[in-house]
Amino acid sequence: MDQSIQFKAIWQAPIAIAYLDTDLKYIAYSAKWLSDYKLPQEDIIGKSHYEVFPEIGEEWKQKHQRILKYGNIESNPAELFVRSDGSHQWIKWAVRPTFNQNGEISGLVMSTEDITETLKLQSKVDREHQLLLDAADKAKIGTWEMNHITNELYWSMVTKKIHEVHKDFVPDIATGIDFYKPGVNQEIVSDLFARSYKTGERFEVELQIITAKGKERWVRSVMKAEIVDGKCIRQYGTFEDITDKVVSEKNYKLALRKFHDVFEASGVGMMVVDPIDLSITEVNPKICELLNYHSDHIKTSSLERFVLKADFPKLFNSVTDLLNNKIDGIELDIHLKKSTGRFVICSVIGTLIDDDQGNPIDLVIQVIDISGIKKKEEELRAFTKYVEQQNERLLNFAHIVSHNLRSHSSNFEVLLNLYHQETDVEDQNNIIKLLSSSSSQLAETISHLNDVVAVNTKKIELSPIYLKENIFKVMENISSQIKEYHINVDVEMDDDFTVAASPAYLESIILNLLTNSIRYRKKDVPGRITIKAYKHKGKSRIIFEDNGIGIDMKLNGHKIFGMYKTFHGNKDARGIGLYMTKNQVEAMGGTIRVESEKNVGTKFNITL
């Protein structure tokens, strides 16, 4: 071999290498030798190693001699050298003998590697690894490592804690897998462990273990493998107890499913609304049924769209109060609009759902159609009012009876007393006359009261009656009066206008109102009575209007329909007509109102 080529190859070697003869003088060296040992760029060939490195001690000199003598190899993977300038170097070194063609020792070859930087790096890595492990410990994440060279399984303290084993417990691969819950859990972990061993793939899996104390726990196991030259030398990974998380997740899912089930199947209309912009995010079938819309038509539109305009401010204010924690929940009765355009009165209950931080995320609104209840309430109220009115009428009637009958009976009593005291025959006859007139008045009163009782107790059958025809019939009966007082009666309605009424009552009402108007006509102008009728909101409205002397409403308005109330001192006024009229109208479920002005006329409005 050409020595110069050989030397050139040595000069360019990537490691620090030097060839020395038996006298330890340099034969060849690499450029790296010079740079690693910070030697001056001068030729050192032929120079003694001990001349170049004067600090080399006796110990090394003996070592060199031993190698030259016995041909053994000395090496150290890492040794600290303190240089003459005081700097430290970690050196990985090896010193071997060289042999000549005859097999005799011809010198030494030294190879060294400055591993100071590598070691520094290594220690940094170790430190970081330790930090990582510490962090893992703190995070309750355990680690494990299966060394396939030593066949040892290592568990970190946290891993041991999760398994609930003693800190001195020594795991092996079989017991490690046995801790997994028998069945699928063990199968999965065995399979993944084998696959990772074969391919080096990384796996992450959540499985159940049974601890040494027999407790079931959920763990997340991560495994990695290190493969060198196609052979797995170690497997390692992390091990984390996720029981709490899994349980709370499970509970959350369960709660969510339960809520969803309730939401879907509820007989109460429900919707989930964004509390900020009031857009509807979820609806259940019941609310769709209630509003008569497909869910797609309700979702994403604003709640405002379905609320009666007049009701919206109070809903909006409630939501604002709820968001500001002024109230715990919303409870309102509002009108919601159906697809048909009709409004239903609903009881609305709203609850705010917060996230973990207490920020409102959803407004859950329950909607109950209470129109049925409201209607029943209305009916009940109407019925109560009816009963109250009946009661009042009954009481009123009792007072009328007592008043009228008592005044007659007291007259009898006093007259009889006077009769006994009276000595004069003519005066006695006078008293007898008064007694007989009192008696006939009593009979008349009783007959009136009887009529009133009849009206208030008889069950009324309503049948459709041609109103115009009936008015003319009554007018025929009193045609003599109409003619005598020159009364002009206008009947303004269609011939076929019908009203649901009791024939006898309707006739009595018409008769009373007509004779009333005639009786209280103005003497100086021609009497005029106008009768109109029309339908209003499914009911019949009948109006009697005259140009008579009228009634001072301020003075007598409250007495018009009272029994035995007369206002004009008219001799043939008996104060029973309007009382009966009102009773008859009310008995048929109608109402009667009066408008009047003194010297202008009177107008009666009847609704049936």
Partner 1 sequence: MAIDYTWIIDDDDIFTFTIKKMLELNHLTHRIDTFSNGLEAKQQLDFRKENNLPYPNIILLDINMPILDGWQFMDEFSQFADKKEIIVYLISSSIDPNDRIKAKKYEDIKDFVVKPVTINALLQLIAHAESLMNIP
Per-residue x/- mask for partner 1, residues 362 to 401, rule CB under 8 A? -------------------------------------x--
Asked whether position 413 contacts partner 1 by CB under 8 A, the answer is: yes
Asked whether position 464 contacts partner 1 by CB under 8 A, the answer is: no
Residue 487 backbone dihedrals phi, psi, to 5 degrees: -85, 135
Q: Which stretch binds partner 1 (CB under 8 A): 136-144, 385-393, 404-412, 518-526?
A: 404-412
- Please say whether the beta carbons of 558 and 584 come within 8 A: no
CB of 575 to partner 1, least distance (A): 8
CA distance 483 to 592: 28
- The tokens for 59 are 């110990």
Q: Which is nearer to partner 1, 143 or 404 (CB)?
A: 404
Asked whether position 402 contacts partner 1 by CB under 8 A, the answer is: yes
Residue 156 backbone dihedrals phi, psi, to 5 degrees: -75, 170
529 burial type by CB count under 10 A (0-12 exposed, 13-18 middle, 19+ buried): buried
Q: Which residues contact 442 (CB under 8 A, 6 or more apart)?
A: 405, 408, 409
Asked whether position 415 contacts partner 1 by CB under 8 A, the answer is: yes
CB of 486 to partner 1, least distance (A): 27
Residue in 566, 598, 600, 603 binding partner 1, rule: CB under 8 A: 566
Asked whether position 555 contacts partner 1 by CB under 8 A, the answer is: yes
Residue in 14, 57, 538, 569 binding partner 1, rule: CB under 8 A: 569
Strand order in the sheet with 26-29: 26-29, 16-21, 105-114, 88-99, 74-82
Asked whether position 565 contacts partner 1 by CB under 8 A, the answer is: yes
- The tokens for 176 are 């490690």
Q: Which residues from 43-72 bind partner 1, rule CB under 8 A?
A: none
User: Could you give the count of Cα atoms lying within 13 Å of 285 in the half-sphere of its Cβ?
Assistant: 7
CB of 421 to partner 1, least distance (A): 6
Q: Which is nearer to partner 1, 393 or 565 (CB)?
A: 565
C-alpha closest to that of 329 among 316, 337, 319, 338: 319
Asked whether position 574 contacts partner 1 by CB under 8 A, the answer is: no
Crossing angle of helices 425-457 and 577-587, in 10° steps, is 20
Residue 557 backbone dihedrals phi, psi, to 5 degrees: -55, -40
Asked whether position 417 contacts partner 1 by CB under 8 A, the answer is: yes
Q: Which stretch binds partner 1 (CB under 8 A): 41-49, 298-306, 412-420, 476-484?
A: 412-420
Q: Which stretch binds partner 1 (CB under 8 A): 30-38, 49-57, 114-122, 432-440?
A: 432-440
Q: Which stretch binds partner 1 (CB under 8 A): 158-166, 167-175, 570-578, 590-598?
A: 570-578
CA distance 327 to 181: 50
Q: How distant is the alpha carbon of residue 436 from its chain centre?
A: 83
Opening angle at CA 522, ends 516 and 528, nearest 5: 70
Asked whether position 572 contacts partner 1 by CB under 8 A, the answer is: no
CA distance 122 to 128: 10
CB of 392 to partner 1, least distance (A): 12
Q: Residue numbers of the site for partner 1 (CB under 8 A)? A: 399, 402-404, 406-407, 409-411, 413-415, 417-418, 421, 434, 437-438, 555, 559, 564-570, 573, 575
